Chains A and B, each alone.
Chain A
Amino acid sequence: EAGVAQSPRYKIIEKRQSVAFWCNPISGHATLYWYQQILGQGPKLLIQFQNNGVVDDSQLPKDRFSAERLKGVDSTLKIQPAKLEDSAVYLCASSLDRAGANVLTFGAGSRLTVL
Protein backbone atom coordinates (compact mmCIF):
# COMPACT_ATOMS: atom_id res chain seq x y z
CA GLU A 1 0.00 0.00 0.00
CA ALA A 2 1.15 3.56 -0.66
CA GLY A 3 2.51 5.44 2.34
CA VAL A 4 1.73 8.89 3.67
CA ALA A 5 2.76 11.49 1.10
CA GLN A 6 3.98 14.94 2.08
CA SER A 7 5.18 17.92 0.11
CA PRO A 8 7.31 19.89 -0.18
CA ARG A 9 10.17 18.00 1.46
CA TYR A 10 12.16 21.17 2.04
CA LYS A 11 11.22 24.82 2.22
CA ILE A 12 13.26 27.91 3.04
CA ILE A 13 11.46 31.20 3.63
CA GLU A 14 12.09 34.59 5.21
CA LYS A 15 10.36 35.44 8.47
CA ARG A 16 6.90 36.96 8.05
CA GLN A 17 6.39 35.04 4.80
CA SER A 18 3.78 32.31 4.48
CA VAL A 19 4.14 28.61 3.72
CA ALA A 20 1.81 25.69 3.16
CA PHE A 21 2.39 21.97 3.57
CA TRP A 22 0.32 19.23 2.02
CA CYS A 23 -0.38 15.71 3.23
CA ASN A 24 -2.10 12.76 1.58
CA PRO A 25 -2.75 9.99 4.13
CA ILE A 26 -3.07 6.28 3.52
CA SER A 27 -6.32 5.48 1.76
CA GLY A 28 -9.07 4.67 4.22
CA HIS A 29 -7.34 6.15 7.25
CA ALA A 30 -9.88 8.22 9.15
CA THR A 31 -7.50 9.95 11.56
CA LEU A 32 -4.86 12.43 10.47
CA TYR A 33 -2.25 14.15 12.64
CA TRP A 34 0.13 17.06 12.14
CA TYR A 35 3.17 17.14 14.40
CA GLN A 36 5.96 19.68 14.74
CA GLN A 37 9.40 18.23 15.43
CA ILE A 38 12.06 20.75 16.41
CA LEU A 39 15.65 19.53 16.11
CA GLY A 40 16.55 17.34 19.07
CA GLN A 41 13.00 17.13 20.40
CA GLY A 42 10.13 14.70 20.12
CA PRO A 43 7.13 15.29 17.87
CA LYS A 44 4.63 17.77 19.31
CA LEU A 45 1.01 17.33 18.26
CA LEU A 46 -0.38 20.41 16.51
CA ILE A 47 -3.74 19.16 15.32
CA GLN A 48 -5.67 15.92 15.02
CA PHE A 49 -8.51 15.30 12.56
CA GLN A 50 -11.11 12.57 12.62
CA ASN A 51 -12.39 12.42 9.04
CA ASN A 52 -12.83 16.14 8.27
CA GLY A 53 -13.51 17.27 11.83
CA VAL A 54 -10.98 18.63 14.32
CA VAL A 55 -10.58 16.43 17.40
CA ASP A 56 -7.74 18.29 19.11
CA ASP A 57 -6.02 21.56 18.22
CA SER A 58 -5.13 22.68 21.72
CA GLN A 59 -1.42 23.17 20.88
CA LEU A 60 -1.89 24.82 17.50
CA PRO A 61 -0.79 28.50 17.57
CA LYS A 62 -3.99 29.68 16.00
CA ASP A 63 -2.81 33.25 15.48
CA ARG A 64 -0.44 32.03 12.76
CA PHE A 65 -1.14 28.35 12.05
CA SER A 66 -4.18 26.94 10.32
CA ALA A 67 -5.06 23.51 9.02
CA GLU A 68 -7.88 21.93 7.11
CA ARG A 69 -8.84 18.51 5.88
CA LEU A 70 -11.33 18.84 3.11
CA LYS A 71 -13.52 15.83 2.31
CA GLY A 72 -11.78 13.87 5.03
CA VAL A 73 -8.79 12.95 2.86
CA ASP A 74 -5.94 15.37 2.04
CA SER A 75 -4.86 18.01 4.50
CA THR A 76 -2.96 21.28 4.36
CA LEU A 77 -1.12 23.05 7.16
CA LYS A 78 -0.43 26.75 6.71
CA ILE A 79 1.81 29.15 8.60
CA GLN A 80 1.27 32.86 8.14
CA PRO A 81 3.32 34.81 9.07
CA ALA A 82 6.27 32.56 9.85
CA LYS A 83 8.62 33.20 12.76
CA LEU A 84 12.19 32.02 13.28
CA GLU A 85 11.03 29.57 15.93
CA ASP A 86 8.82 27.80 13.38
CA SER A 87 11.92 26.20 11.87
CA ALA A 88 11.23 22.49 12.29
CA VAL A 89 10.16 19.34 10.50
CA TYR A 90 6.41 19.11 10.04
CA LEU A 91 5.27 15.52 10.19
CA CYS A 92 1.97 14.20 8.92
CA ALA A 93 0.72 10.85 10.17
CA SER A 94 -2.44 8.84 9.71
CA SER A 95 -4.13 5.92 11.41
CA LEU A 96 -7.06 3.69 10.58
CA ASP A 97 -9.06 5.19 13.42
CA ARG A 98 -8.35 7.01 16.63
CA ALA A 99 -8.88 4.04 18.93
CA GLY A 100 -6.10 3.76 21.45
CA ALA A 101 -4.10 0.84 20.07
CA ASN A 102 -3.86 2.24 16.59
CA VAL A 103 -0.48 2.55 14.96
CA LEU A 104 0.52 5.80 13.29
CA THR A 105 2.06 5.74 9.83
CA PHE A 106 4.25 8.75 9.25
CA GLY A 107 5.25 10.59 6.12
CA ALA A 108 8.85 11.59 5.47
CA GLY A 109 8.19 15.10 6.77
CA SER A 110 8.53 18.64 5.45
CA ARG A 111 11.59 20.49 6.71
CA LEU A 112 11.02 24.23 7.15
CA THR A 113 13.82 26.74 7.60
CA VAL A 114 12.83 30.29 8.48
CA LEU A 115 15.57 32.90 7.96
Chain B
Amino acid sequence: GNSVTQMEGPVTLSEEAFLTINCTYTATGYPSLFWYVQYPGEGLQLLLKATKADDKGSNKGFEATYRKETTSFHLEKGSVQVSDSAVYFCALSQTSGTYKYIFGTGTRLKVLA
Protein backbone atom coordinates (compact mmCIF):
# COMPACT_ATOMS: atom_id res chain seq x y z
CA GLY B 1 0.00 0.00 0.00
CA ASN B 2 0.90 3.66 -0.03
CA SER B 3 3.31 4.93 2.62
CA VAL B 4 5.50 7.85 3.60
CA THR B 5 8.89 7.54 5.30
CA GLN B 6 10.61 10.46 7.00
CA MET B 7 13.98 10.81 8.64
CA GLU B 8 13.89 10.40 12.39
CA GLY B 9 14.36 13.35 14.67
CA PRO B 10 14.95 15.37 16.55
CA VAL B 11 17.03 17.51 14.26
CA THR B 12 18.91 20.18 16.18
CA LEU B 13 20.47 23.10 14.31
CA SER B 14 21.94 26.48 15.10
CA GLU B 15 20.21 29.57 13.77
CA GLU B 16 21.07 30.32 10.10
CA ALA B 17 22.10 26.70 9.43
CA PHE B 18 20.92 24.79 6.33
CA LEU B 19 18.06 22.39 6.83
CA THR B 20 17.19 19.17 5.02
CA ILE B 21 14.47 16.79 6.15
CA ASN B 22 14.26 13.69 4.01
CA CYS B 23 10.98 12.21 2.84
CA THR B 24 10.41 9.27 0.52
CA TYR B 25 7.15 7.71 -0.51
CA THR B 26 5.61 4.57 -1.95
CA ALA B 27 2.46 5.01 -3.99
CA THR B 28 0.56 3.71 -6.94
CA GLY B 29 -0.16 6.21 -9.63
CA TYR B 30 0.79 9.85 -9.27
CA PRO B 31 0.08 11.19 -5.78
CA SER B 32 0.13 14.80 -4.68
CA LEU B 33 2.78 15.55 -2.04
CA PHE B 34 2.66 17.90 0.91
CA TRP B 35 4.60 19.19 3.89
CA TYR B 36 2.59 20.14 6.96
CA VAL B 37 3.99 21.85 10.05
CA GLN B 38 2.83 21.67 13.65
CA TYR B 39 4.08 24.49 15.87
CA PRO B 40 4.04 23.93 19.64
CA GLY B 41 0.50 23.95 20.99
CA GLU B 42 -1.07 24.35 17.55
CA GLY B 43 -2.76 22.15 14.95
CA LEU B 44 -1.21 20.97 11.71
CA GLN B 45 -1.13 23.46 8.88
CA LEU B 46 -0.01 23.27 5.30
CA LEU B 47 3.52 24.45 4.60
CA LEU B 48 3.81 23.64 0.88
CA LYS B 49 2.65 21.20 -1.78
CA ALA B 50 3.49 19.81 -5.22
CA THR B 51 1.08 18.01 -7.50
CA LYS B 52 3.22 16.56 -10.27
CA ALA B 53 6.72 15.39 -11.04
CA ASP B 54 9.42 18.12 -11.02
CA ASP B 55 7.07 20.63 -9.38
CA LYS B 56 8.70 22.70 -6.65
CA GLY B 57 6.59 23.81 -3.70
CA SER B 58 7.79 26.79 -1.68
CA ASN B 59 6.65 28.89 1.26
CA LYS B 60 8.31 30.93 4.05
CA GLY B 61 11.76 30.12 2.65
CA PHE B 62 11.12 26.38 2.64
CA GLU B 63 11.27 24.40 -0.61
CA ALA B 64 10.64 20.82 -1.74
CA THR B 65 10.84 19.29 -5.20
CA TYR B 66 8.69 16.34 -6.35
CA ARG B 67 11.19 13.76 -7.61
CA LYS B 68 9.39 10.85 -9.21
CA GLU B 69 12.56 9.01 -10.22
CA THR B 70 13.70 8.81 -6.59
CA THR B 71 10.18 8.92 -5.06
CA SER B 72 11.30 11.72 -2.80
CA PHE B 73 10.08 15.09 -1.56
CA HIS B 74 12.84 16.42 0.69
CA LEU B 75 12.24 19.65 2.61
CA GLU B 76 14.99 22.29 2.56
CA LYS B 77 15.59 25.75 3.94
CA GLY B 78 18.74 27.76 3.44
CA SER B 79 18.79 29.55 6.80
CA VAL B 80 16.63 28.39 9.69
CA GLN B 81 15.35 30.61 12.47
CA VAL B 82 14.39 29.83 16.06
CA SER B 83 10.77 30.36 15.04
CA ASP B 84 11.03 27.39 12.65
CA SER B 85 11.18 25.02 15.63
CA ALA B 86 8.26 22.67 15.11
CA VAL B 87 7.33 19.18 13.95
CA TYR B 88 7.28 18.69 10.18
CA PHE B 89 5.10 16.05 8.51
CA CYS B 90 5.44 14.78 4.96
CA ALA B 91 2.17 13.57 3.43
CA LEU B 92 0.77 12.20 0.22
CA SER B 93 -2.68 12.15 -1.24
CA GLN B 94 -3.79 9.59 -3.77
CA THR B 95 -5.25 11.13 -6.90
CA SER B 96 -7.69 8.32 -7.60
CA GLY B 97 -9.73 5.71 -5.79
CA THR B 98 -10.44 6.78 -2.23
CA TYR B 99 -8.00 9.72 -2.41
CA LYS B 100 -6.54 8.55 0.90
CA TYR B 101 -4.34 11.11 2.67
CA ILE B 102 -1.35 9.53 4.44
CA PHE B 103 1.15 11.17 6.80
CA GLY B 104 4.69 10.31 7.80
CA THR B 105 5.72 10.00 11.42
CA GLY B 106 6.98 13.57 11.68
CA THR B 107 10.42 15.10 12.27
CA ARG B 108 10.96 17.44 15.19
CA LEU B 109 13.20 20.41 14.44
CA LYS B 110 14.88 22.39 17.20
CA VAL B 111 16.68 25.58 16.25
CA LEU B 112 19.02 27.07 18.83
CA ALA B 113 19.84 30.77 19.01
Residues on the A chain within 8 Å of B42, using CB: 108
Near B by CB (< 8 A), chain A positions 10-47 give 31, 33, 35, 40-45
Residues on the B chain within 8 Å of A103, using CB: 34, 46, 49
Closest to A97 in B: B99
Which of A40, A45, A101, A107 is B100 in contact with, Cβ under 8 Å?
A45
CA distance A75 to B19 in the complex (A): 39
CA distance A31 to B103 in the complex (A): 17
A-facing mask of B97-113, CB < 8 A → 1, else 0?
A: 01111111110000000
Judging by beta carbons under 8 Å apart, are A99 and B99 in contact?
yes
Report if A79 contacts B (CB, 8 A).
no
**Tally of contact residues, B, Cβ under 8 A:** 27
Judging by beta carbons under 8 Å apart, are B44 and A91 in contact?
yes
Judging by beta carbons under 8 Å apart, are A98 and B99 in contact?
yes
Q: Given A42-B104, A45-B100, A45-B102 in contact, is the A99-B43 Cβ separation under 8 Å?
A: no
Of A33, A99, A100, A104, most buried by chain B (CB within 10 Å of CB) is A100
- Least CB distance from A24 to B in Å reads 14
Of A33, A41, A42, A91, most buried by chain B (CB within 10 Å of CB) is A42
B-facing mask of A100-115, CB < 8 A → 1, else 0?
A: 1111101111000000
Judging by beta carbons under 8 Å apart, are B49 and A56 in contact?
no
Residues on the B chain within 8 Å of A48, using CB: 98, 100-101
- Least CB distance from B43 to A in Å reads 4
Chain A interface (Cβ < 8 Å from any Cβ of B)? 31, 33, 35, 40-45, 48, 55-56, 91, 93, 98-104, 106-109
List 17 interface pairs A-B (beta carbons < 8 Å), by A numbering.
Answer: A35-B103, A42-B103, A42-B105, A43-B44, A43-B89, A91-B44, A93-B44, A99-B99, A100-B31, A100-B93, A100-B96, A101-B32, A101-B93, A102-B93, A103-B46, A106-B44, A108-B43
